[in-house]
Amino acid sequence: MALRTEISERQRRFGVELRRLREEAGLAVKDAGALIEMGAPQLSHIEASRTGLDSARLTKLLSHYGCTDQTYMAELDDLGASDGKGWWTAFKGQITPRALDLAETEARASILDNYETFYIPGYLQLPAYTEAMFEDAYRERKQTTEATVQFRAERQRILTDERQRQFRFVIHEAALRMQFPGKAVMRAQLTHLLAISELPNVTIQVLPFTVPKKPPRANSFLVCTPSSPALSTVILDGPTSAEYLVDQTSIASYRDRFEQLSEIALPAISSDRSMQDDSRDSWGLIQHLLYLLQE
């Protein structure tokens, strides 16, 4: 079988996990390969994500590694066996590979925790807002802008699909005050946030400028937690590339940061308007900002 020249984050994670399990079991590559009648070079290619491993050999290898978590084992097997196809496949060649990896990673999650500093989270953006975000980057490539807007709209389907994933958002007030799309778009965008917050699986909080405690040091990040928390992923979105953190120390650190941010942010938007206080919760702050955007 030919070795891969392009490696997706899903494939990369499968290899990383196999290497971690082998090292924790205290086995050399040669010895681990012998357990499944495989040479050291071939197992090295698998751990480097250049090729895959069939389910039967994976099950045998995990048994020798002392793995007993059935949920983890099933999810790891799926990582290795998946062909990587989904709704995002139709956009291949139109958007960046990192965007495709993001869609595939979040599709596997059951819980998604998202902290944003300067922009409305992608899951919550209106098409006009997304278009304004990318119009400078793709000023000379209209088709790319259109594909990006359409792709982001498709991503948002997971908010209401049959999986009923749990979404938690903490959005800095700075993102809500940005006016680069124009006042009309921002009014529509803030109104959209209030509407989306009505979904039972969505929680939206605002981190205000007036927060009385020092926030934990953090740029925007997304924590994707699948059925097996051990296979969680932290995604840091940079200007030109995304960084995927999969080690347990980093995952625990960012999960803790999100909890701290949630704790000091304003109370979440609630559908019970009788409980809202214009000055003390996220709903009230957004209403205030909507008032300021009136012409």
**Could you give all domains of the chain from N- to C-terminal order, each with its CATH number?**
9-81 (1.10.260.40), 87-292 (3.30.870)
Dist. CA 10–CA 246, nearest whole Å: 11
The per-residue pLDDT for 5 is 84
The per-residue pLDDT for 199 is 95
Q: Kindly report, residue by residue over 165-201, the tens digit of the pLDDT.
A: 999 999 999 999 999 999 999 999 999 999 999 999 9
Nearest CA among 18, 104, 27 for reference residue 54:
18
Amino acid symbol at 262: S
The per-residue pLDDT for 139 is 53
Amino acid symbol at 10: R
Which tokens in the block code for residue 148? 């990006």
| pTM for the structure as a whole | 0.91
Dist. CA 173–CA 116, nearest whole Å: 9
Q: In which residue ranges of the chain is pLDDT below 70? A: 1, 136-144, 239-240, 271-279, 295
The per-residue pLDDT for 239 is 65
The per-residue pLDDT for 274 is 45
The per-residue pLDDT for 271 is 59
The per-residue pLDDT for 141 is 52
Which tokens in the block code for residue 261? 């941010």
Dist. CA 33–CA 280, nearest whole Å: 60
Q: Kindly report, residue by residue over 133-155, the tens digit of the pLDDT.
A: 887 655 545 556 788 899 999 99
